[in-house]
């Protein structure tokens, strides 16, 4: 039985006629829980089946909307927690690698709990073949913890996905999110980060290709509540064919976050007159002593770049393909596993 729900609501409404305030979908939310398979497990990780942790950090918030979050929570009643402890080894820590595959509707609820002073590296690879994939990933970064989570979406064109990353940071904690969106049909990829701790930091690097008849809808929110916090959000991708891409990016500087800095930049290479591109970069300011910048650019291959390529024997189509691939390759270089980097490269080639 299908449910019609709203997804990715913008934090503060804008003009209705812009049709950017939300996304609306109709899906069958009959889920089977699927927490994925751990392909590589570092020594400093403990795994348990639960959703509850002990922490003084505020509960992370969602960006996909309460209705969708409730349906995914209900579809994944057990959940799984990955607890990262501070390592006593001086050796370079390997990442936790999780693969999520399925041929039917699946719901995933994973929690990354980085304890005080720990280093957590996580790579999640999605290869779902069909149906609906609902994903909630919660990240708790305790004091002085460092987290790098990479999400790689290499699903088939028969897949619809709702993917929400929810983050909360303590004092001096740092979270980095690398997100690659390449497959699927209708994709809702969102995150919400709360910088509650003193000098906490969040960095995101998102790359995507929107092709054929794909629909990609993104809702990215960073809330600053702690003093001297910092965020840097980057989204870079290509839109072509008969596709639709929507970007919502919000930096919310709330009262009390004095000395904080925020930056967001979204760049789109537009390669088709039939494609639809919508963007809403937003800065909300409730504090005086802050610094924040934002921007969004949409454009085709410049005449200068095309001339440069032509003088080196590269035609327009090849130039567009090279730049499209380069956007993804640059972001993928952050992923700390060469085999997965190659997997992304092979997916692009196919």
Please count the CA atoms within 13 angstroms of the CA of 197 that sit on its side-chain side: 26
pLDDT of residue 301: 74
pLDDT digits (tens, 9 = 90+) for 252-297: 999 999 999 999 999 999 999 999 999 999 999 999 899 999 888 8
Report how far residue 195's alpha carbon sits from residue 131's, in angstroms, rounded to the nearest whole number. Answer: 35
> Which residue bears the tokens 């509707």?
105
Report how far residue 163's alpha carbon sits from residue 161's, in angstroms, rounded to the nearest whole number. Answer: 6
Query: How confident is the prediction along the chain (350 residues), in pLDDT tens digits per residue?
Result: 689 999 999 998 888 888 899 999 999 999 999 999 999 999 999 999 999 999 999 999 999 999 999 999 999 999 999 999 998 776 778 999 999 999 889 999 999 999 999 999 999 999 988 999 999 999 999 999 999 999 999 999 999 999 999 999 999 999 999 999 999 999 999 999 999 999 999 999 999 999 999 999 999 999 999 999 999 999 999 999 999 999 999 999 999 999 999 999 999 999 999 999 999 999 999 998 999 998 888 888 777 777 777 877 878 888 888 889 999 999 999 999 999 999 999 999 98
Positive or negative: CA dihedral 297, 299, 303, 308: positive
pTM over 0.75: yes
pLDDT of residue 238: 96
CB 168 within 8 A of CB 114: no
Nearest to 110 by CA among 119, 91, 120: 120
CB 75 within 8 A of CB 101: no
CB 238 within 8 A of CB 327: yes
Instruction: Output DSSP code: residue 116.
Output: T
Q: Is 321 helix (H, G, I), strand (E, B) or coil?
A: helix
> Which residue bears the tokens 């509650």?
196
Nearest to 224 by CA among 191, 185, 195: 195
CB 186 within 8 A of CB 158: no
> Which residue bears the tokens 């996905």?
161
Phi, psi of 229 (to 5 degrees): -85, 165
- DSSP-assigned states of every residue in 9-73: --SS---GGG--S-EEEEEE---EE---EEEE--TTEEEES-S----SSPPPPPSS-HHHHHHHH
pLDDT digits (tens, 9 = 90+) for 297-319: 888 877 777 777 787 787 888 88
> In 10 A of CB 171, how many CB atoms?
16
Helix (H) or strand (E) holding 332: helix 316-332
Nearest to 192 by CA among 224, 165, 161, 231: 165
Strands 80-84 and 45-48 come out as antiparallel
Report the DSSP beta bridge partners of residue 239.
210, 270
* CB environment 47-74: b (16+ within 10 A), e (fewer): eeeebeeeeebeebbbbbbeebbebbbe
- DSSP-assigned states of every residue in 14-27: --GGG--S-EEEEE
Contacts of residue 95, defined as CB under 8 A and 6 or more positions apart, other chains included, come to: 40, 42, 121, 122, 123, 148, 150, 336, 337
pLDDT of residue 2: 85
pLDDT of residue 1: 62
């Amino acid at each position: 039985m299908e449910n019609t729900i709203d997804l990715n609501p913008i934090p503060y409404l804008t003009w209705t006629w812009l049709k950017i305030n939300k996304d609306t979908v109709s899906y069958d939310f009959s889920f089977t829980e699927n927490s994925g398979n751990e392909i590589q497990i570092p020594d400093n990780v403990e795994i348990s089946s639960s959703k509850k942790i002990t922490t003084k950090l505020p509960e992370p918030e969602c960006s996909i909307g309460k209705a969708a979050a409730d349906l995914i929570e209900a579809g994944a009643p057990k959940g799984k927690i990955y607890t990262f402890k501070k390592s006593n080894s001086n050796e370079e820590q390997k990442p936790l690698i999780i693969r999520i595959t399925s041929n039917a509707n699946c719901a995933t609820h994973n929690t990354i709990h980085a304890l005080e002073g720990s280093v957590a590296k996580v790579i999640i690879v999605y290869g779902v073949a069909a149906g609906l994939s609902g994903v909630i990933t919660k990240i708790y970064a305790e004091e002085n913890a460092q987290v790098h989570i990479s999400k790689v979406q290499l699903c088939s064109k028969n897949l619809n996905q709702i993917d929400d990353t929810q983050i909360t940071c303590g004092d001096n904690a740092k979270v980095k999110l690398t997100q690659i969106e390449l497959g699927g049909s209708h994709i809702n990829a969102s995150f919400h980060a709360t910088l509650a701790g003193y000098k906490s930091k969040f960095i995101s690097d998102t790359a995507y290709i929107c092709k054929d008849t794909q629909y990609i809808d993104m809702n990215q929110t960073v809330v600053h509540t702690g003093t001297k916090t910092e965020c840097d959000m980057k989204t870079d991708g290509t839109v072509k064919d008969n596709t639709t891409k929507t970007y919502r990016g919000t930096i919310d500087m709330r009262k009390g976050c004095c000395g904080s800095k925020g930056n967001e930049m979204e760049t789109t290479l537009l390669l088709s007159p039939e494609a639809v591109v919508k963007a809403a970069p937003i800065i909300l300011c409730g504090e005086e002593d802050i610094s924040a910048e934002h921007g969004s650019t949409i454009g085709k291959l410049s005449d200068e770049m095309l001339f440069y390529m032509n003088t080196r024997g590269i035609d327009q189509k090849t130039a567009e393909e090279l730049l499209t691939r380069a956007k993804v390759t640059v972001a993928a270089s952050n992923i700390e596993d060469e085999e997965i980097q190659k997997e992304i490269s092979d997916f692009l080639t196919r």
